[in-house]
Amino acid sequence: MPGRQEELLEALLATGTPVVLVLLSGRPYELSRQIDRLAAVVCGFYPGEEGAAALADVLSGRVNPSGRLPVSFPGAGSSQPSTYLSAALGHRSDVSSVDPTPLFPFGHGLSYAPATWVSVDAGTGEWPTDGTCRVVTTLRNDTEITTTEVVQIYLHDPVAEVARPVQQLIGAVKVDLAPGQTRSVTAVLHADLTSYTGRAGHRQVDPGVVELRVGRSSEDVHATAPFTLTGPRRRVGFDRALVPTFEIGG
């Protein structure tokens, strides 16, 4: 942490009083030395003029937090800055003694009342290179307060012309759940979302096997759904589908 902020934090922790660390910053910090001694960490980034009221609502319990990290928080010894969008050699492997596993991964976030993941149904597994596939996620709130879950869908493409990230977020949706409520989330994903820039310099959709990972974050995956893209390779342009369509029922 910058300046003497870490000294202040250590002094507070030394009192034995439970400490909730509130971060107001534009980037993640390496917190591995303190994380096991902290009661909680709230990352407010730069919340603006209404930030104090928003943080007070979260800390007091008036608001159930539902934010998710748009960056990873590094673990001990990790490089900084880093991204979850890395190829296989950017992850933990035998070719390096450096462990890049994040302390808090991209997409991570907690709440006072976590939702229960009931099921993920990915259908037949066939996905036309010019068509769509559907993934249905069912959630339930088993708690006594209203909660919110963020369903995140990541693409894993094991074979491509160029090195691709091990996984890439291609869709996310926030789902509100009343106490005892069960809701289903249907994601309709166009094959354009699997496109990448190939060796010829244009974006393309390739036939072959891909995998959709559905979960709470880039590391907390509830289910994986293998699909086979069928049909010819397609070249796509600026008019390609950029986001999936979500239908929330219940």
Tens-digit pLDDT profile for residues 16-44: 999 999 999 998 999 999 999 999 999 99
- Same domain, residue pair 133 and 17: no
Backbone angles phi, psi at 159, to 5 degrees: -135, 125
In a domain, residue 111? The reply is no
pLDDT digits (tens, 9 = 90+) for 137-186: 999 999 999 999 999 999 999 999 998 999 999 999 999 999 999 999 99
pLDDT bin (cut points 50, 70, 90) of residue 76 is confident
Q: CA-CA distance, 92 to 71, in Å (whole number)?
A: 18
Q: What angle do CA 18, 72, 210 make, to 5 degrees?
A: 135
Total residues belonging to the chain? 250
- Same domain, residue pair 123 and 79: no
Domain that includes residue 28, residue range: 5-90
- Same domain, residue pair 140 and 241: yes
* Contact assessment for residue 166 and residue 88, using Cβ atoms and an 8 Å cutoff: yes
- Same domain, residue pair 76 and 190: no
Pairing of strands 203-205, 196-197: antiparallel
* Token output for 152: 């995140």
- 137 forms beta bridges with 120, 185
- Same domain, residue pair 149 and 44: no
* Contact assessment for residue 31 and residue 37, using Cβ atoms and an 8 Å cutoff: no
pTM: 0.92
In a domain, residue 180? The reply is yes
- Same domain, residue pair 84 and 130: no
In a domain, residue 109? The reply is no
